[in-house]
Amino acid sequence: MEWKRGAEVVAELTERQHGVVSRRQLRERGVPHRLVQHRLDIGSLEPLSRRVLRLRGAPFTDMTHVAAGVLDAGPMAAVSHRTAAAIWGLPGFDLRPVHATGRRPRVAHSRQDLSIVHQPLRLLEAHVVESEGLRITTPSRMIFDLAGDRGLHPKRVERALDTAWSMRIVDHDSLHRMLRDLAARGRPGIALMRSLLAQRPVGHRPAGSNAERRFQEIAASVGLRSLVRQVNVGDEDGWVGRVDFRDPVHGLVVEVNPDRFH
């Protein structure tokens, strides 16, 4: 009965976690070590690292790598940074290499490590949700983590912010709550996020396309900083339509069309 229950636990966890399971998860659920070793000896489980095992024969996808990477990062770790951005659907970000946030067990790093592990001072449970069977940072936390990534240009962080805002997975309130949670002197990315949020007040409407974002950058470079996005316009007969930009200071209305419309 003990072995039957152990096999059920292995099947349940690997099905939910893209074919992988951690040794810690099996220990915590009472799976005997001898059962795990037997499964390894007969080849139905294979080690991916000291901490993570894979069910042989299960599909080996990019999400398998992600699941293995976050489990390898230790208990309570979460998929984060660029990998989280890819899962949340932001263009231009890849699932691999896998980024995770957590505290790795106190062992020396080795070539077997399956993820790039970030160890911030704070990872509140409110900053983590479950998606794809895995713990993952919320969209707002993900944006702040990207801002602290020294390998990303600030303009790329800004595009990620506006894209997430357009997708409605972040908004003014969620981002400012995150700023309050994380604000600390010297924390990577906080200065950049303060600047970006200061430019996006209550009621902000992000650009709907890369062409609109590029137009706004060009306008700002020549001193047109009073543009308002997505404005309804009309005349004495009523509503005419919505334009991409209106500049109330200079009396301009602008409609930006991507290349495919020319």
Separation of alpha carbons 95 and 168, rounded Å: 21
Distances (CA, A) of 251 to 42, 90, 214, 226, 246: 76, 35, 21, 10, 7
Amino acid at 216: Q
The closest of 156, 18, 167 to 88, measured between CA atoms, is: 167
pLDDT at 196: 96
Distances (CA, A) of 190 to 103, 118, 141: 22, 16, 12
pTM: 0.77
Digit-by-digit pLDDT tens for the chain (262 residues) are: 466 787 888 899 999 999 999 999 999 998 988 989 999 999 999 999 999 999 999 999 999 999 999 999 988 899 999 999 999 999 999 999 999 998 655 444 555 579 999 988 778 999 999 988 899 999 999 999 999 999 999 999 999 999 999 899 999 999 999 999 998 767 899 999 999 999 998 877 776 656 666 666 666 666 666 666 665 555 555 555 556 666 666 667 766 665 544 4
Question: Beta strands 116-118 and 99-101: pairing type?
Answer: parallel
Separation of alpha carbons 15 and 37, rounded Å: 20
Q: Is 121 exposed, middle or buried (0-12, 13-18, 19+ CB in 10 A)?
A: exposed
